[in-house]
Amino acid sequence: MNFFKENEEHILLYSKIIYSDKTAYLHLLFLNGELTLKSTDLLSVGDEQIYLLKENKNIAIQIHHSSEKEVHNLQLLFKEALNYESTY
């Protein structure tokens, strides 16, 4: 995850959800790297930022406006993952 730099926008290319052992994971593919995290570590997904918890630190990832469609998809996946985890 060290490809995220402060005050730098990132282009989100693709996101998907992976289910394993009653846990939902979100896989995010950016132009300059990728990240997989538990859905419970993703705090929120806004139009221009993704907030997550990594190693007990709150992290904000700036998202480039060209990723609008994929951010919307990630927002839907985030809701789906939260619903999945709330059933267990």
Query: 29, exposed or middle or buried, with CB in 10 Å at 0-12, 13-18, 19+?
Result: middle
- From 51, 49, 42, 47, select the one nearest 77 (Cα to Cα): 42
CA dist 38 and 36 (Å) reads 7
CA dist 70 and 67 (Å) reads 5
Q: What confidence tens digit (pLDDT) does each residue in 1-41 have?
A: 566 666 689 999 999 999 998 999 999 999 999 999 999 99
Q: What confidence tens digit (pLDDT) does each residue in 27-86 have?
A: 999 999 999 999 999 999 999 999 999 889 999 999 999 999 999 999 999 999 999 988
